[in-house]
Amino acid sequence: MFMADIAGVRVLYTGDYSREEDCHLCATEIPQFSLYFNSEKMAKTIRRLAEKTLEVGESVSGLLVKKAFTCQIMALDDLHVFSQLSTENISQRITIAYNGAFGVLKHRLKQIFESVESLPDEESEGPAFRVHERLTVKYESEKHISLHWRSDPISDMVSNSVIISILLILILITSYC
C-alpha cells in the first residue's frame, strides 16, 4: 500500500497479487489519522536485581532481555529461569609440541608481556608460569608444553597471542638449527 500522486490527484494504492482488480481510493475518501510514539523506554528489573530498591541516578548492571515489546533487566545467574539458555565456565587446554628450553620460552614471553610470574612447583606439578594472571604455561615433557585458561574474551586474546609467540619462537629455533 502506498500513496501516489496521479495527474494532481492523491491516490492510495492498495494492490496485491490476487486476481481481483486493484482498488484505488481518492484522497477525499481516505480518513485522516496521526500516529504518536512515546520515545521513552522503560525496563523492569526482575528477580535478584529487583530485591534492592535503587536510588535516583544509581546504575544497575545486568542482562537486558527484550521480549514482546517489554524490556527486563536480570542478573546473569537468573537467565536459566526465564529462558532455556544456560551459562557455563569453560576451561581450555592446548598442548603444543615444543622442544626448546622452558627458561628461554619464559624469558621471551617476559619480553613481550608485562606480567609473567613463576608458579610454585607444588601448585603446578612441575615448572610453570602464569601470564597476566589468566593463562598458565606448564612444562609437560621435553617435547611438550601445555597452556591452561578459563575462557573469556580477554583470556582467549592472551592465549592466542601466547600461542602465536610460541610458534614464532619455534620458527626461530628451527631456522637457526
Contact criterion met (CB below 8 Å) for 25 and 12: yes
pLDDT digits (tens, 9 = 90+) for 10-69: 766 665 555 666 666 565 655 666 667 677 777 788 888 888 887 888 888 888 888 777
Task: Report CA-CA distances (Å) from 28 to 13, 14, 15, 39.
Answer: 14, 15, 19, 32
| pTM summary value | 0.53
Strands 43-45 and 70-74, by their bridges, are parallel
pLDDT tens digits for range 38-54: 777 777 888 888 888 87
